[in-house]
Structure 1
Amino acid sequence: MRAEETEKPIVSLAEAAAKIVPSHLGDHLDVTRRAFSQVSWTWVKMFKESALSTLVDVPLSHIPGPLYEASVDWIIQCPVQTLSKLVSWTCDRILLDLATCGDKPPISSWPKSQAAHFVVLALVLRGKPDSLIGVLPLLWELPKYQGLDKLPLIVWMMAQASRGDLSVGLYSWRRNLLPLISNNKCCPLSMDLILQLVEYILSRPEALTILVNGGGVVEGERVVPLPSLEILLRLTFPTPFARGETTERFEAIYPLLKDVALAPEKTGGRDAMKHVLTFALMLAGEEGNPVLAKEATSIAMRSLTENIDCFEHWDYIYMNNLEASVALLKKLVDEWNNHFLRLSSSSSSPSDTFTVNQTMESFRRKNKRAIAEGGSICSLYKEADKYCKLVSKRLSPGGGVEGSMTCRCLDLIKSGEGDEESRIFSLAEAAAKIDPSHLGDYLVKAVRVRWCPEERLSRFTNYFVEALSRVSFPWVKMFKDSPLSTLIDVPLCHIPESVYETSRSWINLRPIESLSAFVLHAFDLILVDLEAQQGGDHSKSQVGVFVALAIILHSKPEALTTVLPILRENPKYQGQDKLPITVWMMAQVRGPRVLFNSEKFSNCKSMFGQSSKGDLCLGLYSWAHNLLPLVTVSNKKCCCIPQSLDLILQFVEEIMSHPKAPTILVDGAIREGQPLIPLPSFEILVRLTFPPRSARVKSTERVEAIYPLLKVVALSPDMAGGSNAVKQMFTFALRSGRKGIVTGNLALAEEATSIAIWCVLESVDCFEHWDIIYRENLEASVALLKKLVGEQKVYFLRLPSDTLIVNQAMEKFRRKNKKAIGEGGAICSLYKEADKYCKLISKRLSPGGGGLWDRGTTYNRRMSCEGREILTRKVSMDEQCLVLSGDWVCGDGGKWDFMIEKNQMGRMVRISEGMGFKELETNVFDEFKVDKGCFHVSLSY
């Protein structure tokens, strides 16, 4: 600043502002700095001695109208980020000079220049209130903006922003100032200043319209979110001994702030009100402050009346907030006319009444179970149940308070005539009344209203629960007295095809995780209801749950997959009483054999009439992993009660009865990397099929009938785990074979030997593993060696290395035999017999030992090379002339040349020494090479 400028006389702010030409602002806003350079303004003293209401208009009350308008027009065009930086920089300048000079600096210092800073800051905050939002985090976090001496400036800045936008002003107050009160970081003077700001904002005539009707949202955040509402509640409704001087001031501003906090949002309002309900119930459940609990209960009531979906959410958190829920139920009953008149009016939605009714029914089931279990809070559940009954009664036709309410009946199923509403329907009759178009509209709404996937499925179930609410069904008796073959199709055989298709189309769009969670939840509900039916009562409440569960399992069988481990491991799902419903659930995924209840559909192919591969495979997977392990087999008997074993066998017999079961199950023997029949289950199956003669029971013949196909599935060439899995199977086979021989169970011994043969032919590595367990399973080893002597396939190994492995195993066995024979003993004869068979096998594998090169012998081989299938052909020996179909080891281990020859038997390969490659018709080969006497040839026919 030039010396001549500093010598000019001091003027007032108004005088300096009057000299500014508005058009100059168009060139540069910094004109204010020069215009107000001679203005002296001790703002700290002014803030200390004046109320905030008188300071809000300072300094802009001294700025001429045209100048203000020109400034705002220029500011509006600037980016918010730029203006936020300007606000931060200007605030820093003011606070820096304050820290340097205090409130009484020399005449030539900051008091003259700070007027310009205040004018610019006020213009920006009023012209672009959003510019303050970007600065709020800095004002809250940085220490340089904190302290009693800084607070007046911060409050003044927020007041300026509130003049431009009330929502921004209140948002700033809530974000940065209200937490200071809750954290006890402010003295009485600071508390007074903070309250002055919010009182000023709420005193504006347009506050209610702008803050409440505007949705209560700024920059995507609630102006007053739930944590801030909690602070307000605790300040407004303290315990009696904690009331202070400011309590009445909070009581005055609380109603409007509460309305802002609970204002319905334009987007996401439904979820927001659910959060409000959770928040209110948690507060209402706190002890020691009945005034706060009462207010929290009223907030919970408001969330229920403003968003009917909160009833369903209440069901999820009911038991975790029992005390508060009882108080809310009582309030709901006491103030029914005030809050729920709309539910019984002619303009209300039938689905609203339905939702409330279903919530009360769910509460009553929870109450009933808790009362039966007893406990210290049993009386609370009884009180809650009393209020639930009253609510349900008032929602029924003619059930209003003092006759003032005329609730109409929920029209979710087609209405009948005469006295149909009072009679009990059969399942088929009630299902026939379901309107598919109404169901479709209902499900579409479930998606549009932004419910989470779990709530959407709950709504889906509730529809059928209400539609079938007058159906009485004796589930327990049905499961006890009916074979599984008649239960598989229940209840879907009674559901119209159009209703099923509408449901299935909707279900197929739901995430599999949510469907799996629903399956488990529905099972829990059914189990609770089944316990209640033990006394003989027929259930009405769970018919709809059964229908919904069956539709979901049929539509998405995969929903059962992730539930299986839980059903297998959690004790609450185990026991004879739970088994029928468990089997029924598993049976649903393999598809019913009966068509839908639809005459026009009876001549069409049912999607379930031809069960998919995934359905049957998942059904067998469920049986082998969850049901078969329930049958433990000891040496003397099968440890499973006859009823359970019968049900378990019925299920697998239903699967095997499918005409395409052999093809589907063998091709799908591995499911997502896991075998349909794991080794532990296969072991149980073998012992069930081949028990000791004295332990045979009626079910043994049934197991014998299904065993051959199940064995093929278990012994899949693509066995999961590869060579290690085959070794484990081989170990089981040898041990079972030994057990059968020792105990005299020759059928088990013979079957175990056949399984062991499959293992060694499937993986030559089993020979090396056999060496490890040879002596401990000597009896079975002898039987297996005897079987191998007559097994021709073992002499046609694919690679020379395979032959080497077998030969080495035989040599190791012979050394063990020789040592044991030398030692003598009771089982010396077994070692001698084993040694005889080892010699024969080694001889057969040697050149000229009766193996491959014996003339006149014919064998069948099949191979694949790099994904190409080579057709099975006979290997015919005549003058060393073969049909090519695989890899062979030459008799003398020498290098052989070969050529193509055609005759009546087909393509031939003549092997001879000295024949050159130039005579080969190489175009007929896909691939060939000669390595160490082994022909590696691939030929496609």
Structure 2
Amino acid sequence: MIKSNSKVKAKIVPSGGVEDMEDKSKGVGAAEAALSVEDEWEETEKEAIVSLSEAAKKILPSHFAAFVDKQKGVPELDLWRLNCYLEKVFSQVSSLPWFNMLKKTPLSFVPLSYIPKSVYEAPVDWINKLPTDEHWKFVRWALDRLLTDWAAHAKGEEQRFTQYEVATLVELAMVLRGKPDSFTCLLPMLRVRPKYQGEDKLPLIVWMMAQAFQDDLPTGLSSWARNLLPLVGNNKSYSPELVDLILQFVEKRILSNPEARTILVNGAVKKDGERLIPPCSFEMLVRHTFPARVEEATERFEAIYPVLREVALAPGTAVKQIFTFSLKLAGGQGNPALASEATAIAISVLTQNVDCFKQWDVLYKENLEASVALLKKLVDEWEDHSFKLSSSSPSDTLTVNRTMNSFRIKNEKAITEGVANLSLYKEADKSCKLISRRLSQNLMGMIKSNPNPKAEEANIDPSDLLDEEKETHKAAILSLSEKMDPSSLATFLEKVSDEDWYHPLKQILKVIDYYGIQLSQVSSFHWVNMFDDYPLSKLIHVPLSLIPMSVYEQSRDFINTLPFETLPAVVLWASDLILTEWPGVVKVEQLNSDLSKVATFVVLAMVLRTKPDALTLVLPKLRDRPTYQGQDKLPFIIWMMAQASQGDLCAGLYSWVRNLLPLVVKNKSYSSQSIDLILQSLEMFLSSNPEARAVLLNEPVRHGERLIPPRSFEILVRLTFPARVGEATERFEAIYPLLKEVALAPDTITSANALKQIFTFSLKLAGGQGNPDVAKEAIEIAIRSVTENVDCFKQWDILYKENLEASVALLKKLVDEWEDHSFKLLSSSSSDALTVKHAIYRFRMKNEKTITKGVANSFLYEEADKSCKLILRKLSRGSGGRKITPCTTMVIAAAAAVAGAALVLQEAPHLLVSFILIFILIFFSFFLVSFP
């Protein structure tokens, strides 16, 4: 029994009660006072109930009939008129303590249990004849009014509607009993609106459910599963008493009926296709019945679980959702009871609906441990389940076996690659072989015993069970494409160009329709399986490797005639459409006739190969849209880039660097298999073109951006020289030299700004402690940056202090390798040399200022200052390329002497001797400068 606070109860006792209770509490102990309050409260409650019953008996059928006859106005207001009528009838029992009654016994039929049946049946019949839309409106209005007083009562405040409470409560019970749907339609609102949530509201909500569903067990169970069961999991918000109340509802009001099991199982799926116990609620039920830690309510869940499990698993909709959660739970470590039950559920839905095998194929890798257990269970209990799996049509058996073949392809690929969880794939493969063998035997027996099956089943060759589904589709596409007449295609393309020359999007859609007609017989192409199962070396050539060259070339020439601005939108639409075959992807609008997605696939490949920039321009959308996120979409994204790369290697690298390289850094989100696929794709792009290096260095910029921007180059450096060597390090080391060349390749548009950014990150990495390899590489990159763009010295001046350790190492490297770098630094203009000299002077000023202050790391400044002095000395001496040679000096001096002597002889002959002496001094000065 749920008890309310005695002080709150005392505040709503009829007049005179509060004072009497306070007087008693002064003369007796607290416990005796509380008992006295409770006794008086119960006495008051009994009196009120008697008063309610007596008032109800006074309602004569003739009185109610007279009331009904008066209702000649608007039918929509009749329920509220009835409320006014009941207010008059029950005006003397307005102090009914219904709060306490519902808290103590919310599953009771108060107040109708105290009203004679003959009295309330007439109003209920009349209520049933009123407009349906008004019932739920009244229920919501009455609930809001009662909750207002309920909240005031909890706070000890005066209730606004206390004089109407009894009438509202009685009529609400009548409406709920007569029209249960008036409450059912409000249940979703009650689940989401805070106004109706909370521990204090629950007894009233449960009372309403008890009134509405006493004669409708299926709806009662459905409401319990959706509105009450989720609250059990939220045990921090709800007390044990209220959890007990939630369980009581299903125990006493639903399952206590002797016919409950039959009624519920037969009505497990409603007319609208919804289950009484939806998959999300069934999952909660399983978790509560098989918890990792046994709790107080576990035994009660164990008692109700068998019947509810039958209802949840009855044939109907949403079996794929049930399979999905059961497969995940089957792999749960640390709870063998839960894993065992989840495995049993998964097998139940697999044998009930073979489409669950397709769902399993999608979930196989990410639930590998659970899949191994489920396969082993199928093998061990084959005699129990084989009849269901094999007794349906051959096409269903084929579906099951195709799934086993798909599993085997995944297993073999993982075993070949030597992945971490190798033993699991080997264990799974043993079970797959056994199941495939048994299914093949069963199918052969079915065909022999039934020589005249249905038309579509008669065409099934038992040997197909041993073939991979992908080979079937490849053969189908190849067979159909070979029948395509190039001349017919040429005529069609010419017609399209003439008729729709002003509408390029319409032209490309018509081409897709044309291919759709030609390839319509392979419309059931299994996209997900193909992208998951094909090795990348084969995947990138599908489907164009199956299309005759003459057909492809004609289509390519046609695409080249279309305005380029139309094609990026086509790429996005086509890829969106193809991805609708992936689980959970939102459907997109079909712009053309729905003939074949294979056709869209074929034309998309043609567009990407013909116009690679149609992909590069939509890369930001591919990065941002949820449709393209996730490991399961990765093979398709790589396939798109591979098509673009076939036509333009630079487009392929441009795309890979921006959309795939960042995913390698997110190694927690992407598996080792996905990272392997990303690296494999670039290795394939580069190896497929013998002239890759020359092609990439010849075009380091695309769309005004570098193929490898500085931020991506930094990622490459970090991945190639990690602090801790990983599996992918050697592969990055192999591709790094070429990518480094491309990242640092000079150009007239972006090189200057890019080198500044590269210098900035390399200077930071050069000071990285604990990773000498990355520091060494970063110093080399930094030196290359400053020697190719002296403006980097200005950037260095800004970053000098905050990267002191790196600056010391970089200055020392410059001194040690001066002969290698001085030519680049000093062979350009004198202003560049002055820029370098100015930066080194600035470094010296910073050094001297800090050394004078005696800061903690002054030894680093001293070390840097030594290098700065040496560099300045070398800069002052200059280099061979910028010296004035001795010959030049003498020539200049001689020329000056001749000109000066001529002038002196003409103007002042007596000064000739003095001029000669001055000339000799100047000459020797030049000579000393020229030969240090």
Question: Normalising by the residue count of structure 1, what TM-score does the alignment of the two structures yield?
Answer: 0.48
Instruction: Tell me which protein shows more helix as a share of its residues.
Output: 2
Instruction: Tell me which protein shows more strand as a share of its residues.
Output: 1
